[in-house]
Amino acid sequence: MVRRALEEAIHAALKEMGLDLRLKVAKAPKDKPGDYGVPLFALAKELRKPPQTIAEELKSRLELPPFVEEAIPVGGYLNFRLRTEDLLEEALRPKGPFPKREGLVLIEHTSVNPNKELHVGHLRNIVLGDSLARILDYAGREVLVLNYIDDTGRQAAETLFALRHYGLTWDGKEKYDHFAGRAYVRLHQDPEYEKLQPAIEEVLHALEQGELREEVNRILLAQMATMHALAAHYDLLVWESDIVRAGLLKKALAILEQSPHVFRPTEGKYAGALVMDASPFIPGLEDPYFVLVRSGGAATYYAKDIAFQFWKMGLLEGLPFRPYENPYYPHLRTSAPEGEPYTPRAQETINVIDVRQSHPQALVRAALALAGRPDLAQRAFHLAYETVLLEGKQMSGRKGLSVSVDEVLEEARRRALAVISEKNPDHPDKEEAARMVALGAIRFAMSKTEPRKQIDFRYQEALSFEGDTGPYVQYAHARAHAILRKAGEWGPPDPAQATPYERELALALLDFEEAVLEAAEEKSPHVLAQYLLDLAAAWNAYYNAKEEGRPATPVLTAPEGLRELRLELVRSLQETLKTGLGLLGIPAPEVM
Q: Mind listing the pLDDT tens digit for each residue in 347-379?
A: 999 999 999 999 899 999 999 999 999 999 999
Q: How much is the pLDDT for 400? A: 52
Q: How much is the pLDDT for 401? A: 59
- CB of 28 within 8 A of CB of 37? yes
Closest of 502, 515, 591 to residue 555, by C-alpha: 502
Find the Cα–Cα–Cα–Cα dihedral 232, 158, 297, 367, rounded to 10°: 20
Q: How much is the pLDDT for 299? A: 86
Half-sphere exposure of 340 (CA within 13 A, CB side): 5
The three-class DSSP label of residue 474 is: helix
Three-state secondary structure string covering 25-90: CEECCCCCCCCEEEECHHHHHHHCCCHHHHHHHHHHHCCCCCCEEEEEEECCEEEEEECHHHHHHH
- CB of 477 within 8 A of CB of 574? yes
Q: Mind listing the pLDDT tens digit for each residue in 313-326?
A: 999 998 999 999 99
Confidence of residue 395 (pLDDT cuts 50, 70, 90): low
Rg (CA), the chain: 28
Return the beta strands (E) in 150-295 as ranges. 236-239, 262-263, 274-277, 289-293
Q: How far is C-alpha 217 from the geometric centre of its chain's CA atoms?
A: 26
Confidence of residue 553 (pLDDT cuts 50, 70, 90): very high
Distance of alpha carbon 489 from alpha carbon 132, whole angstroms: 36
pLDDT at 210 over 90: no
Cα 414 to Cα 435, 439, 470, 520, 592: the distances in Å are 9, 12, 16, 34, 15
Ranking 188-197, 295-304, 337-346, 542-551 by mean pLDDT, the lowest is: 295-304
Distance of alpha carbon 391 from alpha carbon 505, whole angstroms: 36
**54-82: average pLDDT:** 95
pTM, to two decimals: 0.94
- CB of 129 within 8 A of CB of 110? yes
Q: Mind listing the pLDDT tens digit for each residue in 142-184?
A: 999 999 999 999 999 999 999 999 999 999 999 999 999 999 9
How many angstroms separate the first and last alpha carbons of the chain?
33
- CB of 420 within 8 A of CB of 408? no
Closest of 90, 85, 81 to residue 27, by C-alpha: 81
Mean confidence (pLDDT) of the chain:
94
Ranking 327-336, 358-367, 400-409, 561-570 by mean pLDDT, the lowest is: 400-409
pLDDT at 52 over 90: yes
